[in-house]
Structure 1
Amino acid sequence: MDADEITVRFAPELDVFVGARGRGPIRIDGVSTLGHVVESLGVPLTEVGALLVDGHPARPSHTPAAGETVQVEAVARPQPLAEPPRFLLDIHLGTLARRLRLLGVDAAYENPDIGDAALAARSAAERRIMLSRDRGLLRRREIYSGAYIYSHRPAEQLDDVLSRFTPPLAPYTRCTSCNGMLRAAEHADVRDRLPDGDGQTYDSLARCEECGQTYWKGAHHARLDAIVTAALAKFS
């Protein structure tokens, strides 16, 4: 090892980010923080748990010295939180947003794309955990908190978020369209919004307090109920 190098070792869970860049000695400049070094190797700090320097706990603000050995652990699951989680999802995670809302989880979603700066600002202003597959977005310092979504598949994405953050589940209490809260509705109030014209063949009617969307048990309910049942069995 040269005089201006350190050794950085990553937990296996972080291999998806690191690749060949994290193998072998890493050159340092004596100025950059440990957090900057880790991110320069492709790992968002949102995915980092404990940092150990020569076996001792360290913070991302630590400035590495030549010859040190750094161990980078993955974030703990479930992840400790100071308050119940509220989420903000980028434009690429619309299906995940709807599934979280189906389970009663507060999941704001931006569509159309408002840009990384505006997303980060909303995350900070509303104390929402930013969910994204965009590492650049997750590296923005102004976000309140964030998490990388590892899978392309909505079912795996949902399991990932629920296992990591363990949010309270309250199925069928949020609007899947706008994230507003649902309230029970009478047939007379929503008659003109139902397929049969009077709503007498539908039960469990609900209406969003924000956007007015009406919900009932239609042909698609069995598919939605399967998602809810699976989530409750795993995470309730």
Structure 2
Amino acid sequence: MSARQLTVRFHGALNDFVAPERRDRVFTHELQGSPSVKDLIESLGPPHPEVDGVFVDGQPVGLGHRAEAGTHVDVHPASIPVPLPEQPRFVLDVGLGRLSGFLRMLGFDTLWRNDSADALLARLSREESRVLLTRDLGLLKRSEVVQGYYPRATDPAHQLVEVVRRYGLTSRMRPFSRCLACNASLSTATPDEVQGRIPEGVAQRHRQFQQCPGCQRVFWPGTHHERMQNLVDTLRRLEASP
């Protein structure tokens, strides 16, 4: 190695972000300046919220540790499932609108708007202890982001499976308890309470309703409800699968 080089190895799922020729192997890297371990790792691909452990010459270090030439750096991903509070909360970037609807459908407090700036998303993630979900690596690498994840899949249903597995959400799902449109908690309602806000045919076929105190939407167990229930059942079956 030259006087400015060190060696690095990324482990597990972090290799998703590394150049193919560097995956699952030790490689040499030329240092530029005196970067922190965080900056070194992110310059090579992985965002810091997906990193759980960093070891320099076998000793654990923090992300603020200064990288030094002549050392070896091992970078490990978070263990699965990643521990979260009993009632985890999420904030999603503008490109994950359908995923936000799925998470709300499962009962999770999920913030999403189609016009939120990156700076706001990062700040909400930190100040409100929300997991930031985004497919924008630049956003995920912002220093104020503490908890975050980059869904690998592009299909929203597959993204949901990833998130549920990563954070062990199955046992904490409370399906159909949150408004899909505005994220508020739903309350039960009688037919009389929702009269005039639902189609006449629905009023004749259904006696059980939920209403949103925020946007005043009314929900009932129709065909869409059945499709979502099938998704919930699928997630529960996947819980024990490898």
- Could you state the TM-score of these two structures normalised by the residue count of structure 2? 0.90
* CA–CA separation in structure 2 for the residues paired with 1:141 and 1:193: 46
Partner of 1:155: 157
Q: Deviations over 1:194-217 (max 9, x none)?
A: 222671311321001211110012
Q: Does 1:195 pair with 2:199?
A: yes
* CA–CA separation in structure 2 for the residues paired with 1:49 and 1:188: 53
Partner of 1:91: 94
Structure 2 residues not aligned, in runs of 5+: none
- Distance apart, 1:158 and its partner CA: 0.8
Aligned-partner residue type, residue 16 of structure 2? V
1:180-219 matches, cutoff 5 A: 180-196=184-200, 199-219=203-223
- Distance apart, 1:83 and its partner CA: 5.7
Q: Secondary structure at the match of 1:192?
A: coil
1:72-83 matches, cutoff 5 A: 72-81=75-84
Q: Does 1:65 pair with 2:47?
A: no
- Distance apart, 1:144 and its partner CA: 4.4
Partner of 1:176: 180
- 1:8 and 1:22 in contact (8 A); partners too: no
* CA–CA separation in structure 2 for the residues paired with 1:109 and 1:194: 26
* CA–CA separation in structure 1 for the residues paired with 2:202 and 2:101: 28
Give the number of aligned pairs: 235
Q: Secondary structure at the match of 1:199?
A: helix
Task: State, as a whole percentage, how many aligned pairs show the same letter.
Answer: 38
Aligned-partner residue type, residue 225 of structure 2? H
Structure 1 residues not aligned, in runs of 5+: none
Q: Secondary structure at the match of 1:229?
A: helix
* CA–CA separation in structure 1 for the residues paired with 2:213 and 2:146: 27
Partner of 1:14: 14
- Distance apart, 1:88 and its partner CA: 0.3
Q: Secondary structure at the match of 1:88?
A: strand
* CA–CA separation in structure 1 for the residues paired with 2:99 and 2:19: 27
Q: Deviations over 1:60-97 (max 9, x none)?
A: 11112221111111111111235632000111111111
Q: Does 1:115 pair with 2:128?
A: no
Once superposed, what is the RMSD of the aligned Cα atoms?
A: 2.0
Q: Secondary structure at the match of 2:204?
A: coil
Q: Secondary structure at the match of 2:107?
A: coil
Q: Deviations over 1:6-45 (max 9, x none)?
A: 1111114222211158473111245211111000111100
